[in-house]
Amino acid sequence: MAYRQRSVKLGCGIYELYQPLADAWAVYDNSESEMSLIAAGDKVVPLLIYNKRSWVSFSLTKP
C-alpha cells in the first residue's frame, strides 16, 4: 500500500491515520526544483526523520 500526496498539504493527522495501514511510506518536500526526503518508515522502523524542521512543519500543518 502506498500513499502519495502531491501539492496539497494535509499534514496533521495523516501520519497517525495512514502509517499503521502502510507496509512502507515516505514524505517528500517538493517545494523546490529537486524533491527531498523528509521522513520515511515501515513495519520495522515506524518513523525515521531525515529533516526535522520540515517534519515538524508538515506535522503541524492543518488540512
What is the residue-level pLDDT of the chain in tens, covering all 63 positions? 344 444 344 455 666 777 788 899 898 999 889 999 999 989 898 889 999 999 888 877 665
pLDDT of residue 58: 80
pLDDT of residue 3: 43
Q: Are strands 24-29 and 48-49 parallel, antiparallel or unpaired?
A: unpaired
Q: How far apart are CA 25 and CA 47, in angstroms?
A: 9
pLDDT of residue 49: 93
Do 14 and 22 touch, CB atoms closer than 8 A?
no
pLDDT of residue 46: 86
Residue 30 is placed in which grid cell?
517538493
Do 55 and 5 touch, CB atoms closer than 8 A?
no
pLDDT of residue 12: 52
Q: How far apart are CA 45 and CA 43, in angstroms?
A: 6
